Chains A and B, each alone.
Chain A
Amino acid sequence: MTVLDPPAVATVPPRSRLPLTRSLFLAAAAVLLVVVFLLSLCVGARGIPFAEVWQVLWRPDGSETSYIVREMRMSRATLALLVGAALGVAGALIQALTRNPLADTGILGVGAGASFAVVVAIGLLGVTALSQYLWFAFIGAILVTALVYALGSIGAAGATPVRLTLVGVALGAVLGGFSSAITMLNPDSFDDMLRWSAGSLAGRGWPTLVTVAAPIAAGLLIAAIVGRPLNAISLGDDLARSLGANVVRTRVLVIIAVTLLAGAATAAAGPVGFVGLMVPHVVRWFTGPDQRWIIPFSAVGAALLLLASDVLGRVVIAPQELEVGIVTAFVGAPVLVALARRTRVSAL
């Protein structure tokens, strides 16, 4: 800990760099998360008083209230937590790996692969069920990321961050172009496609949750162990190697983790890109550059942002719903801009 925290990083106020303060911050965020979680069980098209929610939570009585709380809102809130944590961690990992503040989870082609597969499913194969989009999106994300990595790592230099980024962006753009061509040639699927790409948590239910839980859990687990080598990699590949970090293994692990996390999250909720881009930036201003703090903070922070946005989206234009992908941007962007203005900017 002390070894990797040289006094040179004096841009962050020293108080918040104490491990105790950081742990307290993290705990406070977790408590806030629980509060918002309970709130999200109460709020919706039909408001349910907290006492009633609490009661049916422990003793299901088969009533309509019980069904709404346990089957619909519980699963939705849990999914928001999982997807949020996955997006936040994936964003933190990819920004650390590519050392590029513009990198988001889409940079490895995850988003483009998922969207392309869904467009093919909707436009060419006539798939209409939300539960089937899930598989197309997930498989598309994995295949395209694998392709990006394969193309990026050809040659002696291997998959350097810049090459990965450029290949990912280029391939993502190509697929994006194909996607728009397909939607333009099939105007009927335009609306379905648009709705999916806005990003929403509505109507997913427990089956979706169960499907994406395993890959997200695996991804989070990998993220927990790559924090240390990623700290070394932030110094540059050569220096990291001389410090004893295994650069290639770390890179492969991170890419696997990002694919699992972002792929599953995109499959479950559609492309909610902004969360993964923004949360790590905000988190870094509180924690400083240590990945072992950035990763858990990003998980909690992103889960909080997504869950709160989902609650907000159900309230602002009730009885209609605002897609969570839209709300996260409206909630998160002002925070990001305000922080960028207030804080002395710390690059990666």
Chain B
Amino acid sequence: MTVDFGYRTLAVQRRGWSGIASLRAALVTLALAAATVIGVVVSISTGTYDIPLDEVVGGLLGTADGGTVLVVREWRMPRALLATLLGVALGMSGAIFQSLTRNPLGSPDVIGFSSGSYTGALIVILVTGGGYYAVAAGALVGGVVTALVVFVLAYRRGVQGFRLIIVGIGVSALLAASNTYLMLRATVEEQLTAGVWGSGSLNGLSIAELVPVALVMLVLVPAVLTLSPALRVLELGDDAAGSLGSRPTSIRLAAIVLGVALVALVTAAAGPIAFIALVAPQIARRLTRSAGVGLIAAGVTGALLLVISDFLAQRLFAPLQLPVGIVTVSVGGVYFVWLLVRETRRR
């Protein structure tokens, strides 16, 4: 029994488990994943100290000489893997929020998370002077509290997507204004520390940061994927979704919690890396030519974008290291504009 969806599909049916995906989406996702792996290998092998490809493998396995093993295992591999994982997190959280608000401008910023985490980090920097874990904790608290406040303020017998957007705009604007106020009264050093943190950066991250990130992702990603079909249904609108047996408010709450958790992880680990959450789902949608925002495709696209951006951030003005957030914005933006322009040419 096959159903004609208008495109070629891959269908799997096993006892108690079945799935269907567009063939193109599956192939594109695989290609993006392969490109990400290549990007990771390339960024491990290049740097101030170039390592040939065969020695990269040796470095990973521990058979190469001590220096190479150190560089590969302790410095470059954790950083490249972090870029991959955080990219997946950003892409997925963006896809969740765009599906939730049914708005291509939807991103975790909608719920005020970024402004809130910036406020938290800024206060920590101004009061204590910084430190990786202190700033990360400040950002986490700031972001989560803001998201909670937005959700509670938007709650009136359920949360409507539109009211959530409006309340989010208001709260974000308030926090952004406080951030500007705090920044203007800070010293130049504090301004720069906050500025670099605020762009998002993977500089100096190592295996100590990779392990907790990987563990959290192991929990979050399956949860997000489980929620994926329900989100699809919710895109039909609350009434239609309700009549199909879905419970819009609880699904929306779960989606927001997961989306915020993903972006909170990124912010705590590397600062608020801008734009990937916004652009990865849109790029993925165009590459897979699907109608909705696919979570897996968005995640893989996010990973590829962040890996490429971090490679450029390290190498572009070497030895000067740019914050990766600045590069993501340029790489993602330029590619997205190109994609948009090309899209209409074909029609």
Contact = CB atoms under 8 A, between A and B. Distances in A.
Interface of A: 100-103, 151-152, 154-157, 162-163, 165-167, 169-171, 173-174, 176-178, 180-181, 183-185, 187, 190-191, 194-195, 197-198, 273-274, 277-278, 281, 322-323, 325-330, 332-334, 336-337, 340-341, 345, 347
B333 A155 contact: no
Nearest to A98: B105
A186 B332 CA distance: 24
A185 B136 CA distance: 25
Instruction: Summarize A's interface: helix, strand, loop or mixed.
Output: helix
Question: Which 3 pairs show the lowest CB-CB distances between chains A and B?
Answer: A155-B344, A177-B329, A329-B177
Nearest to A275: B173
Contacts of B15: none
B190 to A, nearest CB: 11
23 contacts: A100-B103, A151-B337, A155-B344, A165-B105, A173-B329, A174-B337, A176-B329, A177-B325, A178-B330, A180-B323, A181-B322, A184-B192, A184-B323, A198-B180, A198-B181, A323-B184, A327-B177, A329-B177, A333-B170, A341-B167, A345-B163, A345-B166, A347-B162
Q: In which size bucket is the chain B interface?
A: 35 or more
Contact of B162 (A167, A178, A334, A345): A345
B347 to A, nearest CB: 6
Contacts of A185: 320
Contact of A102 (B165, B181, B327): B165
A191 B103 contact: no
A31 B9 CA distance: 65
A154 B177 contact: no
B171 interface: yes
B329 A325 contact: no
Interface in B327-347: 327-330, 332-334, 336-337, 340-341, 343-345, 347
Interface string B79-91: 0000000000000
A100 B180 contact: no
A166 B329 CA distance: 14
Interface of B: 103-106, 110, 153-154, 156, 160, 162-163, 165-167, 169-171, 173-174, 176-178, 180-181, 183-184, 188, 191-192, 195-196, 199, 274-275, 278-279, 282, 320, 322-323, 325-330, 332-334, 336-337, 340-341, 343-345, 347
Nearest to A326: B177
Contact of B344 (A156, A178, A281, A326): A156
A177 B191 contact: no
Q: Which of A103, A177, A190, A325 has the most CB atoms of chain B within a 10 A radius of its CB?
A: A177
Nearest to A174: B333
A345 B170 CA distance: 15
B345 A154 contact: yes
Contact of B180 (A154, A277, A325, A345): A325
B130 to A, nearest CB: 16
A340 B274 contact: no
Given A162-B104, A337-B171, A157 B166 contact: no
A278 to B, nearest CB: 7
Contact of B170 (A102, A152, A177, A336): A336
Contacts of A327: 177
A325 B340 contact: no
Contact of B105 (A156, A169, A197, A329): A169
B324 to A, nearest CB: 11
B177 A167 contact: no
Listed residue (B104, B170, B196, B325) with the most chain A CB atoms within 10 angstroms of its CB: B170
A102 B326 contact: no
